[in-house]
Homo-oligomer: A and B are copies of this chain.
């Protein structure tokens, strides 16, 4: 008796998820060009042929990762923007959620960063990452401005502050990915951008 349609579907999804996770890890550590299809196949205990069955090409696999990571983070932003609470509360929640996500899946962050920073990746991935960077930078900037208006965020050019905050987050992702741990730094990070003196 053949497996049911849905059982097959489920297996397939599990496999894909496994491939994505493994590929993200390898890409994160070795870069796009430095990661071989064979490495990925070996890491998921599967033949090259089968891997190709799931992801037609290396570029597709990579771009998919960038896409998913980007979407996930952007969604966090959007939820924070429209969610409940004061501006400061929502900004804090956002930062917390990002740091949390980054702690659990640093590889995905690394891949996006890398796709942004490198020209030696599939062009589509690079463009996606660039759009993502701009988008989050803008959203963060708006967020900060809003926070400044209610006196909850430190003074300064919002775009510049957003750049710095974004840099801090990326730095944490690198720490997590490279050294396997990030200190429980979120409070310090938030504190850094929070208005501390009565004004």
Known contacts A154-B192, A197-B197: A33-B120 contact under CB 8 Å: yes
Q: How many chain A residues have a CB neighbour from B under 8 Å? A: 44
Question: What does DSSP make chain A's interface, helix, strand, loop or mixed?
Answer: helix
Which residue on B lies nearest to A156, using beta carbons?
B188
Residues of B within 8 A of A174 (CB): 116-117, 167, 170
Residue pair A192, B164 in contact (C-beta under 8 Å): yes
Within A159-190, the residues touching B (CB, 8 Å) are 159-161, 163-164, 166-172, 174-175, 177-178, 183, 185, 188-189
A101 near B: Cβ within 8 Å?
no
Tell yes or no: A29 within 8 A of B by CB: yes
Closest partner residue, chain B, to A119 (CB atom): B29
Interface residues of A (CB under 8 A from B): 2, 29-35, 47, 110, 114, 116-120, 154, 156-157, 159-161, 163-164, 166-172, 174-175, 177-178, 183, 185, 188-189, 191-193, 196-197
